């Protein structure tokens, strides 16, 4: 799977603590190589078309939209971001 980061994602990523940035990098590498890996907690978001979320840590998530073979990284942040993917 090919990853493309939106400007919103990049802006939010840069504001994260360095340890969460490191965990996010690892989660994204795993998403590319094995999107079904259980540690990602990967799932389609209810009520959203083609938008998925995955776990970075207990409190941080990434949302992305899958179009074809590309995952457009939308947002990264605390679990609350899932209210507005």
Q: Are 52 and 44 in contact (CB under 8 A)?
A: yes
CB atoms within 10 A of CB 74: 19
Domain spans, the chain: 2-79
Residue 85 above 60 pLDDT? no
- Note the pLDDT tens digit of each residue in 1-23: 899 999 999 999 999 999 999 99
Confidence (pTM): 0.88
Q: Under CATH, which architecture does the 2-79 domain have?
A: 2-Layer Sandwich (3.30)
Q: What is the pLDDT of residues 22-58, one digit of tens each?
A: 999 999 999 999 988 999 988 888 887 889 999 999 9
Cβ contact 39:31 at 8 Å: no
Residue 48 to residue 18: CA distance in whole angstroms: 30
CA 3 vs CA 17, 38, 43, 59, 69: distances in Å = 22, 19, 17, 22, 9
With bands split at pLDDT 50, 70 and 90, how would you rate the model's confidence at 84? low
Length of the chain: 85
């Amino acid at each position: 799977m090919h990853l493309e980061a939106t400007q919103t994602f990049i802006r939010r990523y840069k504001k994260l603590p360095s340890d969460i940035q490191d965990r996010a990098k690892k989660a994204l590498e795993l998403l590319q190589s094995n999107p079904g890996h259980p540690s990602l907690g990967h799932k389609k978001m209810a009520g959203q078309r083609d938008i998925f979320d995955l776990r970075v840590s207990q409190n941080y998530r990434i949302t992305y939209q899958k179009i074809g073979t590309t995952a457009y990284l939308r947002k990264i942040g605390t679990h609350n971001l899932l209210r507005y993917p």
